[in-house]
Amino acid sequence: MSLLRAMRTANVHNYVFSSSASVYGTPDVDQVTEDTPTGPESPYGQTKLIGEWLAGDMIHVDPQWRFTNLRYFNVVGSGSDALYDTSPHNLFPIVFDALLDGRTPKIFGDDYPTPDGTCVRDYVHVADLAISHVAAAKAMAEGRDLQVAYNLGSGDGSSVAEIMSAIARVTGIDFTPEIAPRRPGDPARIVANGDAAARDLDWKMRFTLDEMVGSAWKARQAHQS
């Protein structure tokens, strides 16, 4: 709200909001589209959805207002060795930290109704997200109207077991993940359809899974003391 007030005061009319696919909660479809009903199940998802609402409400006070909400799942990789993912909640840094500390990474549940029994999620490279954010800003600067929301997703996703295998392969650290009980609230599969963003925002998956892991691992090693 403070940012939107400041934009109004500064006479800035274009707004690209980094939202999240967590606004969908646990959808009952294999691929979420922008038309999939929202139903966040966490404070994080709720605040993202409220942020979208606030952006939409700005049209009532600013007739020049243009905005779009970019929704995505798990951001991974690094666009520069100078920056690496330090979040204690994201899968890549959690696994990297465990391996560097000599601990065994964990998989929470291997009995989900997926091909290998582990949860399937969208993993998208941070550099690809940056390109589409810039594309959205340029589109609005040129006066083009965009959809209210866009999903930035792979369309098929990767399982947690596949991520673990890729990390072992790329880092050269051989390990067998420990299988822990399921975590409450983890859906079996959430994957986003990115067709609309591909059409309007130059969205595409430019990195393979191994390349995503490789860029993240290289940046992490650059900061390893």
Output the tens digit of pLDDT for each of the chain's 225 residues. Answer: 999 999 999 999 999 999 998 899 888 887 899 999 999 988 889 999 999 999 999 999 999 999 999 999 889 999 999 888 888 888 999 999 999 999 999 999 999 999 999 999 999 999 999 999 999 999 999 999 899 999 999 888 999 999 999 999 999 999 999 999 998 877 788 899 999 999 999 999 999 999 999 999 999 988 875
For 27-127, strand residue ranges (E) read: 31-32, 66-72, 74-76, 106-108, 120-121, 123-125
Q: How long a stretch of residues is the chain?
A: 225
Q: Is 44 one of the catalytic residues? A: yes
Place of tokens 């994201």: 90
- The structure tokens listed for 152 are 């930035």
Residue among 24, 44, 72, 112 flagged as catalytic? 44
Q: Are 203 and 132 in contact (CB under 8 A)?
A: yes
Q: Which domains does the chain have, with CATH numbers?
A: 2-222 (3.40.50.720)
Question: Given CA atoms 183, 184, 189, 192 in this order, what sign does their dihedral have?
Answer: negative
How far apart (Å, rounded) are the C-alpha atoms in residues 151 and 90?
20
pTM: 0.90
